[in-house]
Chain A
Amino acid sequence: DQQVKQNSPSLSVQEGRISILNCDYTNSMFDYFLWYKKYPAEGPTFLISISSIKDKNEDGRFTVFLNKSAKHLSLHIVPSQPGDSAVYFCAAGAYNTDKLIFGTGTRLQVFP
């Protein structure tokens, strides 16, 4: 039972353009969502989070949008930079469990 899904395994974007990474979930009981970035041979690094009571959170070039009715969230990176090339995981959690449920990841490649 995959509660958090990232249906695009890869995405290729030109430098300077917008990158949009998508994530869908099935459990309406999640309280918060996070995006992590992962380089090869390293652990995931936290990027940005959003509470289920909000629909948008912004931090510099990164913005996360949450559509609760559609059970969908997206991460926008603008402008995209070559250093953004990595695997991006979305994750969801609930306050009563403290564990994160991860999607399978989307590999983003930003080319010059």
Chain B
Amino acid sequence: NAGVMQNPRHLVRRRGQEARLRCSPMKGHSHVYWYRQLPEEGLKFMVYLQKENIIDESGMPKERFSAEFPKEGPSILRIQQVVRGDSAAYFCASSPPGGSVEAFFGQGTRLTVV
């Protein structure tokens, strides 16, 4: 059973470009969470999605950031017009339906904006 898969592992973008980060949850998991870790900081919650629904996006910046989890395919975190401050490690986690408190994390995507 493959774990949570994130790609790419590393992504370099110039300021103003778009970044797309992908996350495939573990098999059987229908809940996906995105977290961001800035340098020297802990993980900050961004958004919680279930298939085709955004459940909680209270941690998402109001502009340039969006997330989706379509019926088919991976969850996508999209950052438009990236700026240097978006450079961070972005982690995706998944959990099964029904209330497991443990979330399994992917290896993360390290975004560098140059």
Chains A and B bind each other: yes
**Nearest chain-B residue to A49 (Cβ)?**
B101
Question: Do A99 and B102 touch across chains, with their CB atoms under 8 A apart?
Answer: no
Chain B, residues 38-68, CB within 8 Å of chain A (1/0): the string is: 0001111100100000011001000000000
Residues of B within 8 A of A49 (CB): 101-102
Interface residues of A in 40-59 (CB under 8 A from B): 41-46, 49
Whether, in the assembled complex, B106 has its beta carbon less than 8 Å from a beta carbon of chain A, the answer is yes
**Nearest chain-A residue to B10 (Cβ)?**
A41
Question: Do B107 and A43 touch across chains, with their CB atoms under 8 A apart?
Answer: yes
Partner pick for B43 among A32, A89, A95, A97, CB 8 A cutoff? A89
Whether, in the assembled complex, A98 has its beta carbon less than 8 Å from a beta carbon of chain B, the answer is yes
Whether, in the assembled complex, B25 has its beta carbon less than 8 Å from a beta carbon of chain A, the answer is no
Size of the chain B interface, CB-CB below 8 angstroms: 27
Size of the chain A interface, CB-CB below 8 angstroms: 25
Interface residues of B in 1-50 (CB under 8 A from A): 4, 6, 31, 33, 35, 41-45, 48
Question: Do A46 and B45 touch across chains, with their CB atoms under 8 A apart?
Answer: no
Q: How far is the CB of A62 from chain B (nearest CB, A)?
A: 14
Question: Do B103 and A100 touch across chains, with their CB atoms under 8 A apart?
Answer: yes
The 5 A-B residue pairs with the shortest CB-CB distance, nearest first, are A43-B105, A104-B42, A102-B43, A102-B42, A43-B107
Q: How far is the CB of B59 from chain A (nearest CB, A)?
A: 8
- Distance A43 CA – B107 CA, assembled complex (angstroms): 4
Residues of A within 8 A of B69 (CB): none
Interface residues of B in 58-114 (CB under 8 A from A): 59, 91, 93, 95, 99, 101-108, 110
Q: How far is the CB of B93 from chain A (nearest CB, A)?
A: 8
**Nearest chain-A residue to B48 (Cβ)?**
A99
Q: How far is the CB of B50 from chain A (nearest CB, A)?
A: 10
Partner pick for B44 among A6, A95, A102, CB 8 A cutoff? A102
Residues of A within 8 A of B104 (CB): 46
Question: Do B55 and A100 touch across chains, with their CB atoms under 8 A apart?
Answer: no
**Nearest chain-A residue to B104 (Cβ)?**
A46
Whether, in the assembled complex, A101 has its beta carbon less than 8 Å from a beta carbon of chain B, the answer is yes
**Nearest chain-B residue to A91 (Cβ)?**
B43
**Nearest chain-A residue to B47 (Cβ)?**
A99
Chain A, residues 86-112, CB within 8 Å of chain B (1/0): the string is: 000101010101111111110000000
